[in-house]
């Protein structure tokens, strides 16, 4: 019997174990006037860290169902090598069963049952059925996958004891056990920007977050570095690159398995490869990938990354101060201000994002004038230019945010009223916008916010793009797609960039749906390296602001917000969330009471 109970339930529900859909600390409700006050406390206890399961080996005389239960319990223990779990398998199966092939996550608890009529003295069939919620593949990528699940365990007598001799590779565990055992980690790879790689500044050093789920272990650095070296997930791989040599792996012959963090906070990674395979700039870029990936996992923080070859010789070293060239903020921008459109007149107002003031003032230039007549707006990430859709929703114009700037001629015109979506800037100064003309819907990009619109193909699209937000990295785009039933589906697409510098091409591919079919999303914004914030109406009609991971894993929600019309966030996760309701804009910091911004207005945005 294990330390936390017997085998009465195959997939146990742990009281006190929190699931992935934790309510975000510091939740807030939006009133029609006055302050926004937080609901609930500021932090949740990390109950998971206190729960540890010790596996137990099979007992003599156990039934076939007990063996299956014991095996499943052992797979949810803290053992990284699954040695105890393998003791429930026949000798032959234990030699080739691969627990890392995939993880099937089931909802709630379920019980194994011996299959009627399939039992003899020498073998037994035990069935397991339940409801799937997700599958995690061998690259650690999470994918929502709802539906029925069933599998069978074939057991035989081995030394007069039941042992499992046939089952699929991988693990089957409950959602509660999954959230207890695994945690989300962002791997970082370089954006494949095609002809735009050297377009501006450090664009060729743009890192993209790739969220994966890794097993919680005492040596989390080892599993994190190993996962990074194995390369990006299948979904992201076509639009990113890694500096790691092909087939690179850790020097496992060393006692530390090739990964150490010394007292000076130097992360040392030794590869099982000669130095010439990753010398020079390639080594430095790999060190930047490692630094950015590990920085969020190590405690205390890493101060430098050293990479060594198989002979132990250090090939390159990247100190913390030199990682700024690879910072994810290079294309995000500083977000010095928050912006919104005033109620009357419809002009662009700015508020310092440091929270020092809650008073909006008109921006310099024509967008801040009384005749701006704006319906929606996007501020370029350097905060030097903006693009806006005029109040009839048909014309897209641009202007600099300085006193000497002039309003451009329309850079894009729709044939129908309210045809144009709110625009969005990537980090390479391309402006993206959707034309919602029912007779000719299209998605276009405009280099530097002007010139000939570049058509963007969207493969696998059903419905019409209602709104969009492109990530600063230029290789991911969030689309709010209006379905025939009227609901808004949130989808994430890869942006594949090609062509030449003179004639760039764009294609959005492999759309990934991030919200259940019954939910309706009405507003979306990027809110960090691998998450979005969305205004989501669930099937029960309850409207909430939710944070959604780019892999579609369980959402984090604000409580009590039920009447917001627009939400906005920055990819710099330290910045406050913005929301509008009843012609008022509210700033909702994660660590203090929210405030209403004056004067009245709507459509809050961060640069981007």
Lowest mean pLDDT among 29-33, 359-363, 580-584: 29-33
Same domain, yes or no: 164 and 214: no
Determine the average pLDDT of the residues in 89-114: 93
Q: What is the pLDDT of residue 136?
A: 98
Residue 388 maps to a domain: yes
In this structure, are 276 and 385 located in the same domain?
no
The confidence score (pLDDT) of residue 560 equals: 52
d(CA 351, CA 357): 7
d(CA 584, CA 545): 16
Inform me whether the pLDDT recorded for 350 exceeds 70: yes
Residue-wise pLDDT for 522-550, tens only, equals 899 999 999 999 998 765 666 788 999 99
Highest mean pLDDT among 7-21, 201-215, 461-475, 579-593: 461-475
C-alpha dist (Å) from residue 83 to 78, 97, 102, 568? 11, 11, 18, 48
Residue 327: the pLDDT is 80
In this structure, of 48-52, 181-185, 392-396, the range with the lowest mean pLDDT score is 48-52
Look at residue 177 and tell me whether its pLDDT is greater than 60: yes
Judge whether residue 496 has pLDDT over 90: yes
Measured distance CA(228)–CA(289) in Å, rounded: 8
pLDDT above 90 for 297: no
Instruction: Please give the sequence-ordered ranges of beta strands (E in DSSP) within 284-423, or none if there are none.
Output: 304-308, 314-319, 337-342, 348-352, 361-362, 374-379, 385-390, 395-400, 412-413
Burial track 106-122 (b if 16+ CB lie within 10 A, e otherwise)? bbeebebebeeeeeeee
pLDDT at 12 over 90: no
Q: Which pLDDT tens digit goes with each residue over 237-251?
A: 999 999 999 999 999
Q: What is the pLDDT of residue 543?
A: 75
On whether both 485 and 546 belong to a single domain, the answer is yes
Determine what percent of the chain is predicted with pLDDT higher than 90. Answer: 70
For the chain, percent of residues with pLDDT exceeding 70? 88
Tell me, yes or no, whether 159 and 107 share the same domain.
yes
- The pLDDT score that the predictor gives to residue 550 is 97
Is there a single domain that holds both residue 540 and residue 436?
Answer: yes
Residues 134 and 96 in one domain: yes
The CATH number assigned to the domain holding 514 equals: 2.120.10.30
Q: pTM of the full predicted structure?
A: 0.89
114 in any annotated domain? yes
**Confidence check: pLDDT of 174 > 70:** yes
First to last CA, the chain: 56
What are the start-end ranges of the E strands in 244-335? 259-261, 266-270, 304-308, 314-319
Same domain, 151 and 221: no
Q: What average pLDDT does this structure show over 132-151?
A: 95
pLDDT at 517: 63
Q: What is the arithmetic mean of pLDDT over 86-112?
A: 94
Q: 476 is in which domain, residue-wise?
A: 426-552
Same domain, 80 and 122: yes
If asked whether residues 308 and 232 sit together in one domain, one would say yes
* pLDDT for 467: 96
Q: Could you tell me if 378 and 399 are in contact, meaning their C-beta atoms sit under 8 angstroms apart? A: no
Lowest average pLDDT, out of 142-151, 283-292, 465-474, 511-520, goes to 511-520
Could you give the number of structural domains in the chain?
4
pLDDT score of 91: 97
Q: How many CA atoms lie within 13 A of 121 on its CB side?
A: 1
Most confidently predicted of 171-175, 204-208, 322-326: 171-175
Do 529 and 599 reside in the same domain of the chain? no
Average pLDDT, the chain: 87
Q: Does residue 128 share a domain with residue 105? A: yes
């Amino acid at each position: 019997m294990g330390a936390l109970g017997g085998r009465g339930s195959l997939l146990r529900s742990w009281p006190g174990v929190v699931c992935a859909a934790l309510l975000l600390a510091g939740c807030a409700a939006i009133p029609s006037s006055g302050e926004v006050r937080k609901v609930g406390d500021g932090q949740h206890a990390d109950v998971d860290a206190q729960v540890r399961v010790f596996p137990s080996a099979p007992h003599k005389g156990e039934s076939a169902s007990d063996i299956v239960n014991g095996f499943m319990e052992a797979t949810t223990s803290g053992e990284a090598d699954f040695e105890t779990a393998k003791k429930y398998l026949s000798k032959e199966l234990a030699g080739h069963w691969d627990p890392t092939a995939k993880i099937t996550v089931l909802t709630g608890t379920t019980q194994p049952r011996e299959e009627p009529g399939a039992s003899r003295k020498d073998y037994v069939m035990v069935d397991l059925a339940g409801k799937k919620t997700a599958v995690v593949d061998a690259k650690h990528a999470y994918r929502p996958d709802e539906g029925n699940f069933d599998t069978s365990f074939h057991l035989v007598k081995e030394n007069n004891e039941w042992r499992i001799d046939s089952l699929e590779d991988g693990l089957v565990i409950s959602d509660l056990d999954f959230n207890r055992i695994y945690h989300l980690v962002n791997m970082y790879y370089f954006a494949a920007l095609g002809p735009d790689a050297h377009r501006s500044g450090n664009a060729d050093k743009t890192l993209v977050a790739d969220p994966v789920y890794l097993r919680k272990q005492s040596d989390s650095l080892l599993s994190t570095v190993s996962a990074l070296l194995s390369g990006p997930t299948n979904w992201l791989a076509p639009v990113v690159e890694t500096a790691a040599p092909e087939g690179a792996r850790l020097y496992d012959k060393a006692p530390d398995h090739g990964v150490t963090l010394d007292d000076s906070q130097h992360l040392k990674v030794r590869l099982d490869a000669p130095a010439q395979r990753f010398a020079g700039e390639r080594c430095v870029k790999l060190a930047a990938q490692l630094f950015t990936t590990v920085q969020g996992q190590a405690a205390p923080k890493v101060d430098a990354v050293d990479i060594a070859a198989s002979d132990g010789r250090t090939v390159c070293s990247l100190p913390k101060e030199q990682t700024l060239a690879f910072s994810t903020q290079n294309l995000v921008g500083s977000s010095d201000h928050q912006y919104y459109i005033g109620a009357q007149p419809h002009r662009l107002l700015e508020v310092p994002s440091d929270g020092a003031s809650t008073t909006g003032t008109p921006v310099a230039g024509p967008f801040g004038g009384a005749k701006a007549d704006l319906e929606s707006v996007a501020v370029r990430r350097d905060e030097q230019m903006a693009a806006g859709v005029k109040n009839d929703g048909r014309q897209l114009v641009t202007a600099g945010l300085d006193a000497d700037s002039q309003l451009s001629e329309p850079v894009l015109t729709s044939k129908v009223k309210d045809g144009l979506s709110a625009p969005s800037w990537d980090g390479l100064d391309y402006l993206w916008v959707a034309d919602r003309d029912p007779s000719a819907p299209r998605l276009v990009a405009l280099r530097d916010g002007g010139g000939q619109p570049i058509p963007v193909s969207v493969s696998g699209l059903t419905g019409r793009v209602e709104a969009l937000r492109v990530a600063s990295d230029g290789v991911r785009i969030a689309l709010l797609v209006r379905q025939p039933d009227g609901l808004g589906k949130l989808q994430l697409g890869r942006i594949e960039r090609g062509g030449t510098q003179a004639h760039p091409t764009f294609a959005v591919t492999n759309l990934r749906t991030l919200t259940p079919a019954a939910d309706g999303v009405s507003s979306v914004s990027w809110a960090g390296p691998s998450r979005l914030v969305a205004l989501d109406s669930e099937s029960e009609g309850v409207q909430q602001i939710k944070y959604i991971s780019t892999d579609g894993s369980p959402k984090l929600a604000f409580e009590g917000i039920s009447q917001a019309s627009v939400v906005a966030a920055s990819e710099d996760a330290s910045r406050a969330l913005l929301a509008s309701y009843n012609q008022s804009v509210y700033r909702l910091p994660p660590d203090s009471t929210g405030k209403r911004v004056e004067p009245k207005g709507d459509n809050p945005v961060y640069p981007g």
